[in-house]
Amino acid sequence: MVIKMTECELLSKCGFFKKHQSNKESACKGFIAMYCKGTKMEACKRKIYRKENGVAPSDDMLPTGHMMKA
């Protein structure tokens, strides 16, 4: 049986999520809905980065791999 995850397992330790979860910007909300709590979580570049490098990326790196503009 395949158990479908509804939330990314890194949610509680992800700097991006922690920092931006209450961000009112629709783009940010969209990323969270799409990646952190959506169907694209396995494609999250932050997750891939963490797997490849063994450390978390900058909190301002988006799930797409782009950097957030300050």
Binding residues with ligand SF4: total (CB under 6 A): 13
> Angle 66-13-3 (CA atoms, 0-180°, nearest 5)?
95
* 19 to 58: interface string for ligand SF4, x by CB under 6 A: ----------------xx----x--x-xx-----------
Contacts of 15 (CB under 8 A, 6+ apart): 56, 57, 58, 59
Residues that bind ligand SF4 (CB under 6 A): 8, 10-11, 14, 16-17, 35-36, 41, 44, 46-47, 63
